[in-house]
Structure 1
């Protein structure tokens, strides 16, 4: 089922679909993916665009056939146009919210709008708000609010084996947890059913440092270098390792000369 659109956005999507020779559903699927990536990145699986792929504004575009440069250019043009659409008009109808501080069926503050992604496991729940640059974490009814800064969160992981679970996120800067973000405060929320009395929310701690590794090839998806760790004073080794991974992909013919030079320059700029 396609995501609901405002009448103005639906007219724009139909026009974009006609100009790009795509179905409305394909354009809406990509629109949802670009919106989930905060307008700067997208992960998608659309048969009309070669299956699975990834897009990052100003960066690399990857499609199922890594040598199909025409398809890469088509995806890049489409995603940039959809990002502009998201920035210039209301695309998705706002969710109805009650007058209180929290939505009736949700635990996050209503002033952030609708999250691009939300979920949870055991005692921990999360909600991501790219437009507001906010991340909400609910631990046994205590909602902690964080400023996501320049992170465009595209993935969430939760480790097992601890009392609360440790939530980590991935963005264009790599994998990180909330200990690297600025906490803006806490608010009371509804607690998940635990069968007992809630314990105080523990302080988040950073996960063990991870050495970036090249990603293994997935069906219908091209290989890409490992994500970088969040920017900081000790990320030089991670950046150098990522450049070495890029060089390996370039030698194997997976990255073109232009893609390798552009990405290498971007990484060197972060040193």
Structure 2
């Protein structure tokens, strides 16, 4: 059972009496509300109908969905617990940055603009930073130029996280990691991608750095300049004319210099 301060224990005793619940049930719900940052709770409490969800502002779900009395009990209890957490030291102070602390993120981030929890995940949003706690491990991400509007967990077997920004829905694991283990991004930032392209093409004499986020300029393959390899019958006038047309195209593409073109053309014309 989670340790409480003397003031916290008194509040739990009072709530247990008034709501006709065991102290264990009230403490469990206190932990659920605290885990949700004081604004929401996901719980599975047999004395309150099993699994359910509460969100401050009136959204309450219980296992017995048509039991309005139970919904009212959960809503009132969670609101009182939320107020107690906001106004009373319910738990002994825990070191800042620890899992047991309400401030579980690194202390140098300051105060978040928003925070919350879902299932086994907690998140806190800061200027240019997003802190995620997953299974007790805290990872801090660089949010780049995204304005985060909310964090959500994908439903199903995985624990992939997404958030909404002015650019739409973004996967958290695509953000650069500032600290913590996190999940290795599937896609690196544009600068890293440009660096990868440079490394892969280092044998082609591309420049060693490409900080403009553009693909290196492609070097055109040299056009053949051996006229003897052109498969045109040059034994007739028509063949020679066709050959001149071919070298003219090579000249236009830049494969032949003016001197090379004029020399070959003069040579071919002399055969007519």
TM-score normalised to structure 1 length: 0.46
Q: Name which structure has the greater RCO, CA cutoff 8 Å, separation 6+.
A: 1
Larger helix share, 1 or 2:
2
Whose radius of gyration is greater, 1 or 2? 2
